[in-house]
Structure 1
Amino acid sequence: MSEDVCESCGAANPQGTQFCRACDAYLGWDTGATTIGGHPAVATVPDTVDTVETAEAVAPLPASHQGETATAVRAAPADARAPEVHAATTEVTLVPEQPGTVTARVSNRSSVVDGVLVEVEESPDWLDVSPAPLRLMPGDEGTLEVALRIRDGALVPAQRLTVQLHVCSESAPDRRVPVAVTLTVAPHGPPATLDVQPRLLRLTDEARARFVVRIDNRRANYPQGFELSGGDPEGVVRFGFVPRVVQVPAGQLVEVRGHFMAPAPAPGQDATRQLTVTAANDGGESVATLTLVQHTSPEPEVVPVGVRLSPRELRVTNAVAADFEVHVDNRGGREAVELALGGRDPARSLVITLAPQRLLAPPGQVTVARGHVQLTEAVPRGRTVVRPFTVVAGDGASEHEAPGSLEVTMTPSPITTAQLQVTPRHLTRADTRHGSFAVLVDNTAGQQPLSVRLTAVDSHGTARVGFTPPVVSAPPGGVGQARMTVQAPPPPGGESVTRDLEITADDGEGRLLAHAAFTQTASDRRPLLRTLLVLGGAALVLLGTLLPWNLLTTADGSTIVATAPVQALGDLRNVSETAAVHLVAAATRVLLVVLAVAMAFGVTGKGSLTRKTALLVVLLSVAYVIAAIVVRGATFRLDGGLLLLWTGAVAGYVGGVLARPA
């Protein structure tokens, strides 16, 4: 047996139950606005847009609280008695603006004329209780009528609840008779209304769209469940709703997201459709309309395949080949095109290679193939040639051509724009066999690297020339450097020689020439040598004069001069032979000293004085030696003094000879 589950408390109730047996929440009077297919809908409450404040229900009191007074009571007379009440109606159905009435037979059991009072225990705010006045004579019986109504402006959800009425007399208000009344707030209000936003939709080149369904239940006091669906007269539009089955609470306005997919009209055509959205339940259905205007753009014109080269004009320098791209433009086509690619050149001087040779160009795209073109003829240096060619793309029915050209430029040999420089241009070196130059290969005006081998010759043909390095490389726009060393025999002393050098730089295609001069000078050493010989000879003569000669005496020259018997000169007739020999030896030493000094002073002259004094030194010393041997019988032995004396005389004489003009 199927059951209906209460959404308020979750309790299970037999199918068809109007109010929940556990919490008295409204489940549905019969198959109608709250049911779909005869059962309460298992639905989702969508997004709430607006709501009307509803009055809250008051749950029935526990039995332990029934009979408690709602107001303060006063003491009753001693003979006061509670009235006797027999309720005629205990169930009342309330509808806005239609009050319900509770009737009861009331008997006055007291001994006084007494009125009847009615009080409500825990009355809901929305409930208005109005008892009719009733006064009874002692022992009389009358009918008590109590009007129950919903206050104006209150939206009370459909429900069932129990209200405790307390009936008492005016004389004994503390003695009450409880009367339990079951109130049923009946479902009331119109069916929920349906609206669609926007009501007009325009679509261009689209088949899908979204819209919003609004279900308004703000005027009903009971929830309403709906199953949403959509349709069109042609039955070709498909609808969807999130959620599809909805529960709209009492007093609320909700929104449901909807979407549809409608077939697009033919290209260039318009279509207008009236779409209907239906919200249905067992109580009926609500319908809202939506106007759909669709437009499909006309199909684009069929554009033939286009073929072009990128770049179209190929330019290379000092090369004979270039790469390019073939762009096959099928963006205006509606289907793929298969093309065969090939190349042509009227001069038959090019080799054209394409990859791939067969190309599939999808519609709406630009497909790229790779190309390579190479010139087979030789291009002289300093020349430019242009060769046109064409790339052909054929689909079997027609051909598409893309023209292009290859421009090949061969620049002149870099040696034609280069310069060879030698620094310094004229090098003078003294007393050496070697000279060094800097060689510059200037390629600043060139567009290619330059590599040359350096060589050189001299005008005399006796020099050896070397380069470090022998091969110089100069980058484009740059300079190469090398070191040139020259080794040549020096000239005779006091002379100079100049060698003209011719430097050559050769790259195999041309030559560069540069000139330089290398001058060698040899210093004249005769003045220095003359000075050394003259002064040295004078010093040796002076030294030899002062040293002992070991001839007739072993005394040195200074002693001989210092001990000379100068007083004997006053009486030459009486001079002894020994004194005479002593005086001659002293005089000879003094004369030799004078000659040595004269020899030294001759260094500034032309050598005549030096030569003469040197001869006099030799003659004087030799004469002295001969006289000593012959006259005195001395024994000759060449000692250091005479040796130095004669050596100095010879040196002085040679110095005097070197002093003569050449």
Structure 2
Amino acid sequence: MTEFCNSCNTYLAWDPANGPDERTVLLPVGGVPAVRPGTSPPAVDPGSGRRAGERLRIAVEPTTISVIPGLEPAMVSVHVINLSSVVDRFTVELLSAPPFVTAVPAEVRLLPNADQSVDLRIGLVPAPMAPAGRYPIDLRVRSSAHQGVAVSQRVDLTVGVVDGPVTLTVTPSIVRVRDTSGGQTELLAENTGGNRPLSLRLEGSDPERLVRFIFEPARLDIPPGGQATARVRLQAPEPPPGQELTRSFTVTAIEGTREFTTTGTFTQASTAQQVDLRLEPSVTKIRDVGAATIRLVAAVAGGPRPVRLTLQGSDDERAVRFTFTPPVLVVPPGGAGVCTVRLEAPEPEPGQEISRRFTIGAHDGRGEIAATGTLTQSTSAQNLALWLEPNILRVRDAGAGYLNVVLDNRSGRRPQTVTLSGSDPERAVRFGFGPPVVQIGPGEILTAQLRVDAALPPDGQEVERPLTVVGTSHDGRRVEGTGSFVQTSSASILELRLDPSVVRIQDASDAVVTLIADNRESIVPARIQLEGSDPERAVRFDFQPSWLDIPPGGWASSRLHLRASRPERGKELTRQITVTAVDERREVSTTGSLIQTSSDRRPMIGRLLTLLGCLLMIAGVFLPWTTAPRRITGINFSLPEFAEDTNISLKPLHTSAEQLRHVPAALISAGLIVLLFATLTLFGLTGTKGRLIRTMAMLGFLFVVGFSLAFVVRADTFGPGIGLIMVATGAVCAFAGGVVGRR
């Protein structure tokens, strides 16, 4: 059954008890469609038949709001327009919103076609704090009388960020440990004052910077208003036994530029441990040895863990050497450990005793425990003897000799290692021991061979060289033995001679002679080195060989190659040379002469040039002198022919050409004149100055030049012939011979 208002025909409700069933046909009442019971009625205006959108209209401002937790709520203005034809009461409320959003519904009563604005206060619950973020909410305006008439609008709500302090708590705040280096606590971080998630990086510190912090996890992620925990492991050096250390520490949580801290205390206690060291025996006595072995006993009383001891030893004189086996001793709590200690020290002098006080220290990383002891060393009185046999070594004509070094350890009670060495005041003797190091046992006598080498004295002389042999034992003790080395040299004669002693060479710079070394008068061998010299240092000496080994009563030879610069041409030069033979004892010399002669070849060359020039001049006389205007030989070139060819008048001679023709041509021909010059040139070879040669050769050359000039100047044409050229060339060659061949 449907109920309506009698005054305004407003739809009231269904009566479920008396309502129609599924078979009931619902007819519209007053033009409004009927609705079955149990279904929502359509949003219509009962009086006019219009839908809710046509009856109600709203406008919300603003549609985006921001609210910060703990501050004033946001205000939303809702403008409600009643488009229906009836008076209605409208409720403004939130339809859907997060649980932390609150709003007090607002109501407004409107006449038909009236409008009015109403403010809705949207806030946040005080606790728990709303998370920061953007949240959509639905705002609804509905009719109080008709549930089906409602209009909704979406509003975006932004919850602002609130960064509150983070609370850090370590539980327990006082961490107590004993006999260990580590402890742990728990860190609680609470984000109750903030509405956004946090990621905190954890760090730890202490004033002494001795505590090591290990966070598990190293970073905490805390939701808004939530909390998180991390395990904090602390590690620090343990205090000395029997002591307690309290260290304050700080745990810091870092998020961006913000830091949050909390403090705690780390207390470490160490149980007292007593470490006792003792030496067994504490006083050690040894005789005739340099080492001893003792025991070091370390006992640990109390404590929860073993003690690790690093051992070392020392003494005031720094003469004792310590060897620990093992070098590091680990002793369990309440137990004992044993270490073997080897002590080594130089032995005292024979027959003496020495006591050395030493200290052995054990370090356990916190302190040092020490034990003291005494090492007493003594050596038996013993005398290691050394002497030379023979005490005086004599040699003749020899540079080396042998003797024995005797070592006597019959009074000793322990073996000795002796190193042998020798010396002499002049440092002229070389010592060779076989062997140089001798191992000699107690009660023994050993012999070592000694070779001494020294240069022989001069011939016929004797020299005595004092010797000192020193034996040094392995412990630094020395024993000496003395003797003498006497060397005698027999008188010997070594003779040198050059074969030949006077060397003559001509036009050469090298000469070869034989050097003979005669040792037939000597009874000792000779090993000599050959050297040469001359006062001017102009001669080069080359010996082949340069060393000679000559047996006694024998001889040897060496080929000597001499080289010196040649003297000037035509001169002779005599060079005095000296050859010296040197050995270890003596120096023998011999002299000789090198005579060098240099020939002068210039006179010979001058004669040859003069003869060649004369031959050319004579041959040129019988060959043509001119080829134009006529071809005439020099011997046939008479004076009339010359006058005719050169157009020279002979009137000054008061002789006609016809008269001249009756004179024999050979008497006045040009070739005859040249033959005269050539003959006089050859005659000049009988002289030494070459003046006649040069004069005749020059006249012959000038005659040929004048002859040629006459033709060049007077004749119409002129062609010099081979004969004329040969005569001129011969004159020049003969002149050169006269210049070169003069003395």
Q: TM-score range by the shorter chain?
A: 0.3 to 0.5
**Greater RCO (Cα-Cα under 8 Å, separation 6 or more):** 1
Structure (1 or 2) with the greater strand fraction = 2
